[in-house]
Amino acid sequence: MVGKSRAPGIEPMPTKRKQKPPHLAWVFCLIALMSSGDSIQGMEEMGQTVSKTIQAHQTGSPPTFDGNLAEWAGAGKVSLEGRPLAGHARRAEVSVMWDAKNLYLAFDVRSSKLQAQVREHDGDKLWEDDGVEFLVDARLDRSKKFLPEDFSYHINILNAVYDDRGTPTGEPDPKWNGAARHAVTILDDYHYIVEIAVPWSEIGLRPRLGTRLGMDFCVNGKDPATGEYDYFDWRGLKVFHDPSGFGELLLAGPRGRM
């Protein structure tokens, strides 16, 4: 998805992403800022600390994908927060670890009442279902184009996937199919966990301490009252598939050690 279009090459064209709504606590101050810059910039100008880097600690054993996040204790984490919908707070915590074979992600999401429709791979508008999304800029080149080393996954609560990869022209290729493993655990009508293992062979890097790559994390869903698509993400992007706005993930040593 380059510009504001979610999936070039798919007919009919999916709906466009909407602009991210501001956090309610800062809504009145952000109205003017949002007209000329993104929410991250506005928050930083107001003195709010917005993390741009997350550390992924090395793990000696891969996590079991069972919805129990005890194995993720001590992992690097970043928190996301969206505007409340239908009286329910929406927030997520993303945990990251790595070993020689994979980069591991765990999304712990609390949202409005969960809904999902799409069950097929690369199904149209899968991102409008409740689910998560992550985007990778393996070379950390911060290009505004989605190049061959860049890719993304959307995983809904039915564990269906929409994935794509960049091309030399900068247009995402929705025909690309990734090899990441993933599992979804629904804990109740408002709470779910997604665990993911992305092979380094797919990322195209040989992992070592100090390696950096660009990433963004996102939570997708709909407003139960209106049915309109709504999302929140780590870096406050208005246009997705734009690595120039991604944050950084740093490969660090074992948990409990610097």
Residue with token string 């860049």: 150
Least confident of 14-23, 61-70, 140-149, 213-222: 14-23
Cβ neighbours for 192, distance < 8 A, ≥ 6 positions apart: 109, 111, 114, 130, 157, 184, 185, 186
Query: What is the per-residue pLDDT across 41-81, written as a single tens digit (0 to 9) for each?
Result: 334 333 334 569 999 999 999 999 999 999 999 999 999 99
pTM, 2 dp: 0.81
Domain 52-61+75-119+127-254 in CATH 2.60.40.1190? The answer is yes
**Residue at 251: amino acid letter:** L
Q: How far is Cα 76 from Cα 250, in angstroms, rounded to an integer?
A: 10
- Extract long-range pairs of 42-51: CB within 8 Å, 24+ residues apart: 43/236, 50/236, 51/78, 51/247
Per residue in 4-33, pLDDT (tens digit) is: 344 333 333 333 343 344 443 333 333 333
Confidence grade of residue 85 (pLDDT, cut at 50, 70, 90) = very high
